[in-house]
Amino acid sequence: MKSMKIVTLTLMAATLLLAQDKDTKSSKDADKKQSQDTSKSDASKGAASADPVASVIPKGATQIEPNLYRFTDAQGKTWFYRRFPFGVSKWEDKPAEQVAKEEPLASVIRDLGDSVEFQRRTPFGISKWVSKKTDLNDDEKELLATYEAKRAAAANSGKTVDTGKTAPESKSDKSKDHQEKK
């Protein structure tokens, strides 16, 4: 029984070794034929066809960085060409878009004595927050200083500062105004 196993394993090993030799010989022959065919086809193509990617990028283009070129055409437009593994991409050089002016941190400020109420419009509605004057951050301090400067300037000129909200007039104020008009 033992001798049968040894004979079977030896035959299998010999078969595998022989199969390996045939594959390597046939693959070497195939490689030789393929290299001869490609050398013939490359020679026939030769100078007839240049690099198709290079033909897309104009000859006067200046290389900015690897695979990125800049070219100005006859109309004065500047074009960028970028070489990718699957071709060339072309786009026009446009000046950077103007950045939208940032809205102030708060659009309405109310002085509440020892604290300040800030309000700001957001896409989700009005956002309100109250900060103590001692706990204001730099942006809030700057807004409060601007608000107080506007209020002082308005007080000197006799105008009122629009804080976004007006306090409702009391009945006594209305009656005083009514008496003064008479």
How is residue 71 written in tokens?
Answer: 């070219």
Q: What is the pTM of this model?
A: 0.33
What pLDDT score does 3 carry? Answer: 87
**pLDDT less than 70: residues of the chain:** 21-54, 96-106, 159-182
Q: What are phi and psi of 64, to 5 degrees?
A: -90, -45
| pLDDT in the model for residue 48 | 40
What pLDDT is recorded for position 169? 45
Predicted local distance difference test score (pLDDT) of residue 68: 92
What local confidence, expressed as pLDDT, does residue 82 receive?
92
pLDDT single digits (tens) 14-62: 888 887 765 555 556 656 666 555 555 544 444 444 566 567 888 889 9
Determine the pLDDT at residue 157.
Answer: 81
Neighbours of 138 (CB within 10 A): 7
List all residues 6 or more positions away from 8 whose beta carbon is below 8 Å from its beta carbon.
Answer: none
Residues in the chain: 182
CB atoms within 10 A of CB 69: 19
- pLDDT, residue 102, reads 63
- Residue 26 is predicted with a pLDDT of 58
pLDDT score recorded for residue 47: 42
Q: Residue 10: its pLDDT value, please? A: 92
